[in-house]
Amino acid sequence: MVSVWILGDQLLERHPALCAAAALAERANTTVLLIESEARLAQQPYHRRKLVLILSAMRHYAAMLGAAGYRVDLRRAPDFATGVRQHLAETGSHRMLTVAAAERGTRALQHALAQELPLELLPNTQFLCGQHDPLPDVPVTRRVVLETFYRAMRRHFGVLLDDGGNPLGGQWNYDAANRRPLPRTVVAPPAQQFVPDAITLATIDEVGQRAGIGDAAGFALPVTHADARQALDGFIAERLPRFGDYEDAMRADDGVLFHSVLSPALNIGLLEPLEVIRAAEHAYHAGSAPLNAVEGFVRQILGWREYMYWQYWRIGEQLVAANAWNAQRPLPAFFWDGTSDMHCLATVLRRVHQTGYAHHIERLMILSNLCLLAGITPAEVNAWFLASFVDAYDWVMVPNVFGMGLNADGGGVATKPYIASAAYIDRMSDYCGGCRFQPRARHGPAACPFTVLYWNFLLTHEAALRANPRLGPAVLGLRHLDDAERTAVRQTAAALLARWSNDPRP
Ligand code: FAD
Ligand code: SF4
């Protein structure tokens, strides 16, 4: 008897460990182990919809494998190690195959178990850079920007290239064509909602009894490969064509716009990155989506997603220890309870609390921008993101929060800190029109907190920012502030931050 241990975020249709086991035993003599680990489920006060997603997808996966002729051991255990030991003792399996976890903690556990049990780890090929490292010899001390990594990945996987191996359209990057504000008349087709079946309904019921964030009821994400493909097809047909133009736009009455909402399925293996990339590429060749949309979307997956995973394993341990801006304040309680008089923030926090989702620009330019400007401790920001989002895992959170969002590494992952005042939010959204704060005011009780904290950040870190070629021009704006205005900005910021720091977590 051979066993295959499959983790809940590795629900691949063609799972490498199942393929390897096929060479060793018949399906009837192969037992697939799926562990619902109590310790893992309780590691954070997770969003309940994330728990429903993972548990329901694992249960559907178990049913699929059973129907395909495998023996399946789907078990609840106090933790992974106990589950593996119980399984081996009960089945008498003499060999167990598994794929290396995407996250550090679980991978370390797998290695430890492999020292004492008949457990063999296969490489993680769920990520494309796990199949082919585009820059294998680069020392960890050297900074590698996204663009270098992305071009190497496009070349290797032959994505959006002409016959000569050059980028289609003559450019690698259409970022500049992907920053349009959204006119009121443009309405995005909604992302597809999947009606829960009996397995998902029972899971919603069960998870509803657990501690966590948000409401499990209302869950409507795909939990099977077929549903995930339907979500992909719907996105490619209906929203991809305008993804590029409005990638950076935000709107108060729509938290998705032209984004794909595919990260929950991608991050647990219901979709594979290359099939998503090829689907987008096909839309370009079929003439149904323009190049700026397709390249922009491909860059998110073949570029940013892969780059983040690559950086996590390369410099992740340095990232979690980094705090380049010496941010020491606690996370304000309103992140947990969602109460704020800031229209943009209250709207995004309410949506995250309800659904566990916000699109990239809201994560970056509302949520983490505010934390960076306010000097919130990176570890506390990381813990909040990890708990609150349906698509959150350590491998994606560490580089996105410490690197891209908070610039805690001083620029290893992103080339500049993503900071902005309300002027940016006002340009890219309709939030400010419905807000009690004044976006342009830099100080005083009516001044927008983003604007106050932005100028305060420039004043506090002026010397360091001047040294950054991409932020030097922003610091030049300080010359318009005389001493009296500088003092007023600092005083308004200090009062605001003191209020937020004294607001205890509920
Ligand atoms: P789309 O806009 O449709 O993009 C397509 C796909 O590209 C996404 O599904 C995702 O797989 C990938 N992608 C795009 N940008 C990134 C990125 N920076 N890192 C990794 N993948 C990316 N992504 C997560 O999957 N889980 C997280 O917990 C998460 N937390 C984030 C926290 C912060 C502070 C920031 C700045 C970004 C975070 N991201 C995270 C990245 C990105 O915001 C989400 O992947 C994206 O919003 C998911 O929504 P979507 O599927 O509609 O994305
Ligand atoms: Fe947000 Fe400031 Fe605009 Fe209000 S004025 S919506 S707080 S950016």
Query: What residue spans define the domains of the chain?
Result: 2-124, 130-189+239-314, 334-502
- Residue spans of beta strands (DSSP E) within 279-356: none
Stronger pLDDT, 150 or 466, i.e. the higher one: 150
Among 3.40.50.10470, 3.40.50.620, 3.40.50.12710, 3.30.1360.120, name the CATH number for the domain at 2-124. Answer: 3.40.50.620
| Predicted local distance difference test score (pLDDT) of residue 24 | 92
Mean pLDDT score, 434-453: 97
pLDDT band at 332 (very low <50, low <70, confident <90, very high): very high
Q: How far is the CA of 233 from the centre of ligand 1 (A)?
A: 19
| Predicted local distance difference test score (pLDDT) of residue 179 | 84
- Nearest CA to 343 among 465, 253, 442? 253
Q: Identify the helix (H) or strand (E) that includes residue 349.
A: helix 343-355
The CATH number of the domain covering residues in 130-189+239-314: 1.25.40.80
The domain made up of 334-502 is a member of CATH 1.10.579.10: yes
Q: How many CB atoms lie within 10 A of CB 92?
A: 8
pLDDT digits (tens, 9 = 90+) for 57-67: 999 999 999 99
- Whose CA is closest to atom 31 on ligand 1? 400
- Nearest CA to 5 among 129, 106, 136, 103? 106
Q: Does residue 98 register a pLDDT over 80?
A: yes
Mean pLDDT score, 328-347: 96
Mean pLDDT score, 485-499: 97
Q: Pocket residues for ligand 1 (CB within 6 Å)?
A: 259-263, 266-267, 300-301, 304-305, 308, 359-360, 363-364, 368, 385, 389, 391-392, 396-397, 400-401, 404-405
Total count of residues recorded for the chain: 506
pTM over 0.75: yes
**Residue 163 to residues 160, 168, 196, 294, 455, Cα–Cα distance (Å):** 10, 9, 45, 18, 49
Mean pLDDT of the chain: 96
Q: How far is the CA of 361 from the centre of ligand 1 (A)?
A: 9
| Predicted local distance difference test score (pLDDT) of residue 505 | 57
Q: How many Cα neighbours within 13 Å face the side chain of 167?
A: 17
pLDDT band at 145 (very low <50, low <70, confident <90, very high): very high
pLDDT digits (tens, 9 = 90+) for 121-141: 999 999 999 999 999 999 999
Question: Which residue from 258, 298, 367, 391 has its CB within 8 A of the most atoms of ligand 1, so it is best to mutate?
Answer: 391
pLDDT digits (tens, 9 = 90+) for 415-440: 889 999 999 999 999 999 989 999 99
CA quadruple 444, 446, 449, 450: dihedral sign: negative
- Identify the weakest region by mean pLDDT among 75-79, 269-273, 480-484: 480-484
